[in-house]
Chains A and B, each alone.
Chain A
Amino acid sequence: AQSVTQLGSHVSVSEGALVLLRCNYSSSVPPYLFWYVQYPNQGLQLLLKYTSAATLVKGINGFEAEFKKSETSFHLTKPSAHMSDAAEYFCAVSPYYGNNRLAFGKGNQVVVIP
């Protein structure tokens, strides 16, 4: 079964600094990977997804992620943190393309320090 691992539940970043959230996956087949963001008292919003078309994936709000098969990773980055980026971020994997049975990591709570 596919799974993802996110380390470090809380991540603090200074405003204007690089945001880096790590996600490693475990999959016996080509994975389909996602990053979601959850703002307080809201549902999940899709930031970006990897579906094997390109290894560098650009998403909304200036976020991007790079798929590295050799490292089984799909880390999320944003060059310059904004106060509005404070939220919880989840990495997820799908068993195959176009299947919404998603397996999520435990999430990273991002705090942006002014």
Chain B
Amino acid sequence: DAGVTQSPTHLIKTRGQQVTLRCSPKSGHDTVSWYQQALGQGPQFIFQYYEEEERQRGNFPDRFSGHQFPNYSSELNVNALLLGDSALYLCASSTYRMDRTDTEAFFGQGTRLTVV
């Protein structure tokens, strides 16, 4: 089992550019959550996708958008990059159960984004 895989592992972008980060969930999982972890801080919830729709969203501007594909993989897009967007972006996957609860979240290793 490959677990949660994210690509790329590192990325350098210029202010104002757009970036796309990718996540493949753990086998058997259908829900993907994205977190932003700034240096020296804990992860902050960006949003969660299930059945190709955004199910929950944290306090992030519309510059942050996402997508989930039929195979449950997901993308995080950030437009008009700011220096403050530099962070480790973590993806977590889980399964949405019939009782409308999530199973334990498994995290990927993250993508380190540097905006210069």
- Give A residues with C-beta under 8 Å from B: 6, 9, 36, 41-46, 49, 90, 92, 97-107
Q: How far is the CB of B88 from chain A (nearest CB, A)?
A: 9
From B90, B97, B102, B103, give the contact of A44 (CB < 8 A). B90
Asked if B44 is an interface residue, CB under 8 A from chain A, the answer is yes
Q: Are B4 and A43 touching (Cβ within 8 A)?
A: yes
Using A43-B90, A90-B42, A105-B42 as known contacts, say yes or no to A100 and B102 having CB atoms under 8 A apart: yes
Alpha-carbon distance A36/B58, docked complex (angstroms): 20
A9, A42, A101, most chain B CB atoms within 10 A: A101
Asked if B68 is an interface residue, CB under 8 A from chain A, the answer is no
CB pairs A–B below 8 angstroms (27 shown)? A6-B42, A9-B40, A36-B107, A41-B109, A43-B110, A44-B90, A46-B104, A46-B105, A49-B104, A90-B42, A90-B43, A97-B101, A98-B100, A98-B102, A99-B101, A100-B31, A100-B33, A100-B94, A101-B45, A101-B48, A101-B58, A102-B105, A104-B42, A106-B40, A106-B41, A107-B40, A107-B42
* Residues in chain A near residue B31, CB distance under 8 A: 100
Report how many residues on chain B are interfacial, defined by Cβ distance under 8 Å: 28
Using A43-B4, A43-B90, A44-B43 as known contacts, say yes or no to A101 and B100 having CB atoms under 8 A apart: no
Closest to A98 in B: B101
* Residues in chain A near residue B103, CB distance under 8 A: 98
- Give B residues with C-beta under 8 Å from A: 4, 31, 33, 35, 40-45, 48, 56, 58, 90, 92, 94, 97, 99-105, 107-110
Q: Are B109 and A43 touching (Cβ within 8 A)?
A: yes
